[in-house]
Amino acid sequence: MLRFSANVSTLFTALPVAARFAAAARAGFTGVEMQFPYELPAATLAEAARAAGLDWVLINAPAGDFTAGARGFACLPGGEEAFWHSLRQAADYAAVLGCPRVHCLAGNLPADEAPERCWDVLVENLRQGAAMLAARGMQLLVEPLNRTDNPRFILDGYADADALLTAVGADNLALLYDVYHARAAGEDWLGGLERRIGRIGHIQFSDYPGRGAPGTGELDLARLFRAIRHLPYAGWTGAEFFSPSPGAAALDWLAD
């Protein structure tokens, strides 16, 4: 199945947040996702998506000061309170939005902590966090970020993410598979997706390098879309490329 959602944290950003939903619908999207929606009330965002006829697909849990390099709290020894606060806030927003998925950034490795200790904290936090979201009918997603852009991120590639899912062992924990991060990490970005499709809860794409629209880099994203259409995948495919005011050229792939 191939259903496209617009990430309004990276698309249509020349518009006020509340106006991006109608713009996404006019462009042909049927779902919407947002990285950090917490600047506006959840009810305002829910109404904006409803008025545009869009399904809420995914939000991120708060991750700290992202522009300063923070990437979440889940692996931080001593950061359990911050982790729980962020996940509960995300779950409360998701409930109002009618959004079934929350992505939790796993966090950066602190310089003064053993990686093994951080791994144990991550596993235990996600085990408990997945149980909390399961009780609310929601799915928890995790994602590796490439170490070129995020040199201290604990999940170094999809093999680490596979190991994490196995260690946590929760039915509602799944992968967020981002083809940009897979390619930037030097992985087989399409083959890796096809091999893991049963563990993937959401797919995101942008071209590589640059995180631009399809056709601005080297990735054959038309091949990706054809593959998804024929895979046993019922989730959404999220456009997370950077385009403040995407014109026809940036959205030709969607019309096709």
- The string of pLDDT tens digits covering residues 184-234 is 999 999 999 999 999 999 999 999 999 999 999 999 999 999 999 999 999
Q: Are 75 and 118 in contact (CB under 8 A)?
A: yes
Q: pLDDT tens, 73-121? A: 999 999 999 999 999 999 999 999 999 999 999 999 999 999 999 999 9
pLDDT at 43 over 90: yes
Contacts of 47 (CB under 8 A, 6+ apart): none
Q: What is the pTM of this model?
A: 0.97
- Residue 92's pLDDT is 98
What CA–CA distance (Å, rounded) separates 228 from 1?
Answer: 7
- Residue among 91, 238, 98, 251 nearest 177 (CA): 238
What is the CATH classification number for the domain harbouring 181?
A: 3.20.20.150
pLDDT at 157 over 90: yes
Percent of the chain residues topping a pLDDT of 70: 100
- Residue 30's pLDDT is 98
- Residue 20's pLDDT is 98
Q: Are 242 and 207 in contact (CB under 8 A)?
A: no
Compute the mean pLDDT over every residue in the chain, rounded to the nearest whole number.
97
- Residue among 201, 221, 225, 216 nearest 246 (CA): 216
pLDDT at 146 over 90: yes
Q: Structural domain of residue 8, as residue ranges?
A: 4-255
Percent of the chain residues topping a pLDDT of 90: 98
Residue 247 pLDDT level (bands cut at 50, 70, 90): very high
- Residue 47's pLDDT is 98
Catalytic residue among 39, 116, 124, 143: 143
As a whole number of Å, the CA-based R_g of the chain is: 17
Instruction: Tell me the mean pLDDT in the region 58-66.
Output: 97
Which contacts of 90-93 are long-range, i.e. CB under 8 A and separated by 24 or more positions?
90/59, 90/60, 90/61, 90/62, 91/132, 91/133, 91/136, 91/138, 92/42, 93/37, 93/38, 93/42, 93/59
The structural domain count of the chain equals 1
- Residue 35's pLDDT is 98
- Mean pLDDT check: name the lowest of 6-15, 46-55, 128-137, 244-253: 244-253
116 is catalytic: no
Catalytic residue among 47, 81, 113, 240: 240
194 is catalytic: no
pLDDT at 255 over 90: no
- Residue 1's pLDDT is 86
